[in-house]
Amino acid sequence: MTSTDLPMSDLTAQGDRAFKDYETLRAQGRSLDLTRGKPALEQLDISRELLTLPGDRWTASDGTDCRNYGGLKGLPELREIFAPVLQVPAERLLAVGNSSLELMHDCLVHALLSEVPGAARRWVDDERIAFLCPVPGYDRHFALCERFGMELISVPMTDEGPDMDVVERLVATDPAVKGIWCVPKYSNPTGVSYSDEVVERLASMPTAAPDFRIFWDNAYAVHHLTDEEVEIRDVLAASEAHGHPDRPLVFGSTSKITFAGAGVGFFGASQSNVDWLISKSSKRSIGPDKLNQLRHALFLQDSEGVRAHMLKQRALLQPKFELVQQILERELGGTGLARWTSPKGGYFITLQLVHGGASEVVRLAGEAGTALTPAGATHPYGVDPDDATIRIAPSYPSIEDLEHAVVSLAVCVRLVGYEQLLA
Ligand code: PLP
């Protein structure tokens, strides 16, 4: 029996219990943060050896002196390591900077100011530019588009990726639609991995814009949480096969592999897109931090090294994700008030409130000391029309703090849910 089937007297009793639990929480006066998907300190410690690397070495495999300017493409040995991880041939994979988000930002800016391969003109010369945003999605993707005055069009997520019937219709008819944001594996925040069919359809669909781009942000390519290490279809190969080699721009980084903010960003694409980006970024930089790249290459060794390293990450993260599942099941299971995802990888769990009220839940949780990502952050313009989605980021808090924070969240869901049903 779910809460909607309960007689009024039982609902009142549940509401009273939730209220008492909430008052108890507030009285405890704790302060916790479930907002951003940051690695925990123990996760950072796994990469501690990086702090002593590259030692007194500075020469890369091709003889490059990493202490000096140059080498816009990044070190070959690091690109070799990440080529299979990101499904990009090493010669078309760039290792640049410390952040994939910066590379996405730069690609948008360069596309606005200089024609991308296949474009009739610069994006800034178009009256309207729109991006498709699978929702729920990553707030920073949406914020980038907003920053540059691009229109955000929501597309519903399914269990296999964006709803392709909607995507195909929009891209076929509207030449202002220049791109789509995709987090294809263990998506932020739903944990969904794109099915082969979705990747094929993205790669093959006709688009009204000749310069349409898929921003393929493979941020969680090796961030497995179970024995089932999900593989996704190679979007570059699929797009090439369907005659659209320039369509995907692939992004990734070591932010959640080694040190967040002190790692390495990656960009991969067709040769013409790679040449395009290099020609623009050569004005902006005389070369990346190759010493950081060298120490990453020495530390991770090869793709198997990345895998072994990620197993250590998993050992720390998996118990936290399992704990969240247990608490949500114990506190909310069978109430009919909420549903939640059980991701096989990535950094987030999505909680969906059946009757809405997410903003109120976030507000109440904040007043009781648990900071949550603002409701609506997972949607374009920060507005979730159903006010239903809450993103849980379990990585950073200790197990003890996480337990307290998720119990608090569940109490607030019950409080708001029963209040709504009693209203
Ligand atoms: N892309 C996604 C989907 C993310 O979730 C994040 C961080 O949370 C980033 C990119 C940021 O990556 P980077 O640190 O490489 O800029």
User: pLDDT confidence of 4, banded at 50, 70, 90?
Assistant: low
- Residue 352, domain CATH: 3.90.1150.10
Q: Are 72 and 115 part of one and the same domain?
A: yes
pLDDT at 8: 82
Judge whether 102 lies within some domain.
yes
* 139 is a domain residue: yes
Q: Which two tokens stand for residue 8?
A: 């009024």
Condensed to tens digits (0 to 9), the pLDDT of residues 344-375 reads 999 999 999 999 999 999 999 999 999 999 99
Q: Are residues 355 and 281 in the same domain?
A: no
What percent of the chain clears pLDDT 90, i.e. is strictly above it? 94
222 within 8 A of 317, measured Cβ to Cβ = no
Name 346's Cβ contacts closer than 8 Å, sequence gap at least 6.
185, 186, 187, 188, 191, 220, 223, 225
Residue 122 belongs to a domain: yes
58 and 9 in one domain?
no
Question: Tell me, what CATH number does 202's domain have?
Answer: 3.40.640.10
CB 386 within 8 A of CB 349: no
Instruction: Indicate the number of domains in the chain.
Output: 2
Q: What domain range is 252 assigned to?
A: 54-301
pLDDT band at 7 (very low <50, low <70, confident <90, very high): confident
Query: Are the C-beta atoms of residues 273 and 246 closer than 8 Å to each other?
Result: yes
Q: Residue 28 and residue 266: Cα distance in Å, rounded?
A: 44
Whole-angstrom distance, CA of residue 89 vs CA of residue 48: 29
Residues 243, 313, single domain; the answer is no
Rounded to the nearest angstrom, the distance between the alpha carbon of 62 and the centre of ligand 1 is 30
Whether 112 shows a pLDDT value over 70: the answer reads yes
Residue of 185, 188, 193 best suited for mutating to test ligand 1, as the one with most atoms within 8 Å of CB = 188
60 and 209 fall within a common domain: yes
Assess contact for 221 and 86: CB atoms under 8 A: yes
- 281 with 326, same domain? no
**Residue 165, helix vs strand vs coil:** helix
Token pair, residue 383, equals: 């507005």
321 and 408 fall within a common domain: yes
The one-letter amino acid code at 73 reads K
State the pLDDT confidence band at 120, using cuts at 50, 70 and 90. Answer: very high
pLDDT for 92 equals 98
Q: For the chain, first and last CA: distance in Å?
A: 20
pTM above 0.80, yes or no: yes
Q: Would 164 be classed as within a structural domain?
A: yes
Cis check: omega of the bond before 189, within 30 degrees of 0: yes
346 lines ligand 1 (CB under 6 A): no
Return the ligand 1 atom nearest residue 252 CA: 15
pLDDT at 33 > cutoff 90: no
Give the three-state DSSP class for 354.
Answer: coil
Q: Over range 165-183, report the average pLDDT.
A: 98
Same domain, 13 and 121: no
Domain C-terminal end among 301, 325, 353:
301
Helices (H) and strands (E) in the chain, counts: 13, 13
Kindly tell me if the per-residue pLDDT of 2 is higher than 70. Answer: no
Residue 347 CA: nearest ligand 1 atom is 5
Residues 217 and 356 in one domain: no
pLDDT recorded at residue 77? 98
Pair 211, 150 in one domain: yes
Q: Is the pLDDT of residue 116 over 90?
A: yes
pLDDT band (50, 70, 90) for residue 9: confident
Residue 356 is predicted with a pLDDT of 96
Would the CB of 98 count as within 6 Å of ligand 1?
no
CA distance 228 to 223: 11
The pLDDT, as a whole number, for residue 29 is 87
> For 374-412, how does the pLDDT look when each residue is reduced to its tens digit (9 = 90+)?
999 999 999 999 999 999 999 999 999 999 999 999 999
Residue 81's nearest CA partner among 312, 257, 215 is: 257
Query: Tens of pLDDT along 42-97?
Result: 999 999 999 999 999 999 999 999 999 999 999 999 999 999 999 999 999 999 99
Residue 363 counted as domain residue: yes
| Span 304-352, pLDDT tens digits | 999 999 999 999 999 999 999 999 999 999 999 999 999 999 999 999 9
Phi/psi region, residue 186 (left: phi>0; alpha: psi -120 to 50; beta: rest), is left
Residue 180 bridge partners (DSSP): 132, 214
Give yes or no: residues 281 and 409 share one domain: no
Q: Looking at the domain assignment, is residue 48 inside a domain?
A: no
What is the band of 266 on the pLDDT scale with cuts at 50, 70, 90?
very high
Residue 11: the pLDDT is 87
Instruction: Give the side-chain half-sphere CA count within 13 A for 279.
Output: 12
- The chain-wide mean pLDDT, for the chain, equals 96
| pLDDT at 1 > cutoff 60 | no
pLDDT at residue 34 is higher than 60? yes
Protein residue with least CA distance to atom 4, ligand 1: 219
Question: 100: Cβ below 6 Å to ligand 1?
Answer: yes
Between 6 and 188, the more confident residue is 188
In a domain, 49, yes or no: no
Contact 144, 108 (CB under 8 A): yes
Q: Is residue 372 part of a domain?
A: yes
Best mutation site among 82, 86, 100 for ligand 1, i.e. most ligand atoms within 8 A of its Cβ? 100
Q: From ligand 1's centre to the CA of 355, what distance in Å? A: 30
Return the sign of the alpha-carbon dihedral for residues 365, 341, 259, 185.
Answer: negative
Give the per-residue pLDDT at 292. Answer: 98
What is the number of other CB atoms lying within 10 angstroms of the CB of residue 318?
A: 14
From the CA of 36, give the closest atom in ligand 1.
8
* Residue 227: per-residue pLDDT: 97
* 68 and 189 both lie in a single domain: yes
Residue that finishes a domain, picked among 301, 321, 350: 301
Quote the pLDDT of residue 35.
Answer: 85
Domain termination site, one of 301, 332, 359: 301
- Residue 178 pLDDT level (bands cut at 50, 70, 90): very high
Residue with tokens 């390519």: 221
Nearest CA among 381, 382, 393, 341 for reference residue 358: 382
CA distance 332 to 3: 10
Q: How far does residue 15's CA lie from ligand 1's centre (Å)?
A: 39
What average pLDDT score do residues 269-283 get? 97
